[in-house]
Amino acid sequence: MGLKKRSRRGVQDEKKERELKRKTSSFQDEYNSSKYVDEEILKDQNEKEELEQHLRERDSAKTRRFAERKKVSRNSNAAKDNEDVETLRKVSRQEYLKKREEKKLQELRDYIEDEHYLFEGAKLSEVEYCDLRHKKETYNILSKKELLKSVHNEYRIPEAFDDRNGVINQEKRFSVAMQRYTDPNTEKEEPWEEHQIRKATLKFGSKNKRRESDDYQFVFEDHIDFIKAFVMDGDKSDFEEEIALEKSRVKRSVLEALQEERKKLPIYSFRDELLQAVHDHPVLVIVGETGSGKTTQIPQYLHEAGYTKHGRMIACTQPRRVAAISVASRVSQEMGVKLGHEVGYSIRFEDCTSKKTILKYMTDGMLLREFLVQPQLESYSVVMVDEAHERTLSTDILFGLVKDLAPARPDLKVLISSATLDAEKFSNYFDLAPIFKIPGRRYPVEIHFTKAPEANYLDAAIVTTLQIHATQPPGDILVFLTGQEEIETVEEILKHRMRGFGTKIADLIICPIYANLPTELQAKIFEPTPEGARKDSVR
């Protein structure tokens, strides 16, 4: 019985030891698993930080920063100014030495004449005689040097080489051959060269030149008939009265003129109501006609209302790079600041902003990059998505990100701007956000449709462009196409046909624009149209 009891106790002890080992091993496994999870979390965070750092370094390496370039240019200009000062110092020193040389030569000649007049016939010591002879030789050498430098633009009778006694002076005779050759004065040739350059310079515009055309109407080989469908009325229907007012307006400063233009925009009368709606609602859908001023004026109104305090910015997205650049330039002029300081833009591979920037115009893709660096958009107080009706991929992604960000950032104002009446879709997506409508259009718009469908719309666009150019009053033309290939095709055909017309019709300046075109060439569409010509923007 004693052995059986001990064996039972041994079995119970073994069970307890196994349970203790099992609990210890399970606790160790849990500890190891939790430690592994913590290590994975830290590893993920480190990889995320490394990825963000890599993206920032890559973007900064590819982006042209105008502010830094201006700082470098200022330093280079300062160094250049120092070099210019040093050069001017040398030039001034040379001019001074020339005058001093003439003065000293005059003093030397006066000294020799005084010596000859005062001490003629007097016996000089050897030292005085050597000194006088040395000064005479020096004066003769310097006089010959000045004679060689002298250049005359008229004919001079050669001097006689013989003296009064009839003896030929060989030194004077051979000195003629030793004179230096210098180029003649080219003042008479310069007007002729300028005249030739003016003839070879390309100039746009007719300059009131009589056209080589007859009194008959210009007839196209292909003619497209249009029917006026309806007219969308504008606030200013009397164009002749407006043109007369423009001509009679007294000249004033550019800033005052821009401020007057701002007050004429349809959105100006709704300024207070718009600011109150932005204050009351975190998300606001704005509907306004093209030209009502919503893109340029709303960010300025928000800035004037104090939304840029505490170092925060107002972001306004644009679907195209040229639009971001042009709108930023216009707003900087209206605010009277330099582009890149308080008002700037950011597009792919180009950044024209600084630490002072409070209004930032950018493309949709650049705001997506801002989300990678700042998921909460801490540096922005207002985000305005302009031209939302175009519905690009970047715009749709922004809608989703901004909608998720709204609960986390109650102080962030989101404005959705559209030029069409499809604002109900945006309002429903943002949980029935209110819609603010800005009525009014600055100018009337006439809409025409073709009588019959066109088989080749490219050829129809070319013929219509030439038809408008030859028959309609002055004004630029916009042609909208689907891609770069069609834009380049239309540009080439229009240039070829305009060369065929010669001087029979006015000049047509063709300005293509597409995404892959360099920024410098895209900006040409904003240059003023020369007098007597018409601009055609193919986009």
CA 344-345-351 angle, 5° bins: 100
> Over pLDDT 70: what percentage of the chain?
73
Residues sharing a CB contact under 8 Å with residue 351, sequence separation 6 or more, in sequence order? 63, 64, 65, 66, 344
- 454-538 has the same fold as 251-438: yes
- Strand 350-352 relative to strand 477-479: parallel, antiparallel, unpaired? unpaired
> For the purposes of burial, counting CB atoms within 10 Å of the CB of 152, is it exposed (0-12), middle (13-18) or buried (19 or more)?
exposed
Alpha carbon 471 to its chain centroid, in Å, reads 35
Q: How far apart are CA 523 and CA 119, in angstroms?
A: 83
Q: What is the rounded average pLDDT for all residues in the chain?
A: 79
Sign of CA dihedral 357, 361, 363, 368: positive
Higher pLDDT, 310 or 171: 310
Read off the amino acid at residue 134.
H
Beta-carbon neighbour count of residue 380 at 10 Å? 19
Closest CA to 461 of 485, 440, 487, 439: 487
pLDDT of amino acid 359: 94
Read off the amino acid at residue 14.
E
Residue 344 has pLDDT above 90, yes or no: yes
pLDDT of amino acid 264: 85
Closest CA to 313 of 344, 284, 350: 344
For the segment 75-102, what is each residue's pLDDT rounded down to a tens digit? 677 777 778 888 888 888 888 888 888 8
Buried b (16+ CB within 10 A) or exposed e, 107-137: ebeeeeeebeeeeeeeeeeeeeeeebeeeee
Q: Can you tell me the mean pLDDT for 519-525?
A: 78
* CATH code that applies to domain 251-438: 3.40.50.300
pLDDT of amino acid 3: 44
pLDDT of amino acid 246: 62
pLDDT of amino acid 148: 62
For 464-538, strand residue ranges (E) read 477-479, 507-512, 533-538
pLDDT of amino acid 112: 85
Residue 250 has pLDDT above 50, yes or no: no
pLDDT of amino acid 124: 78
- Domain 454-538, second-level architecture: 3-Layer(aba) Sandwich (3.40)
Q: Can you tell me the mean pLDDT for 350-357?
A: 89
pLDDT of amino acid 2: 47
Least confident of 37-41, 165-169, 203-207, 227-231: 203-207
CB of 377 closer than 8 Å to CB of 405: yes
pTM of the complete model? 0.56
Length of the chain: 539
Q: How far apart are CA 386 and CA 331, in angstroms?
A: 15
pLDDT of amino acid 315: 94
Q: Can you tell me the mean pLDDT for 38-49?
A: 84
CB of 361 closer than 8 Å to CB of 87: no
Domain boundaries, the chain: 84-113, 251-438, 454-538
Q: How far apart are CA 387 and CA 194, in angstroms?
A: 50
Ordered DSSP codes for 89-111: HHHHHHHHHHHHHHHHHHHHHHH
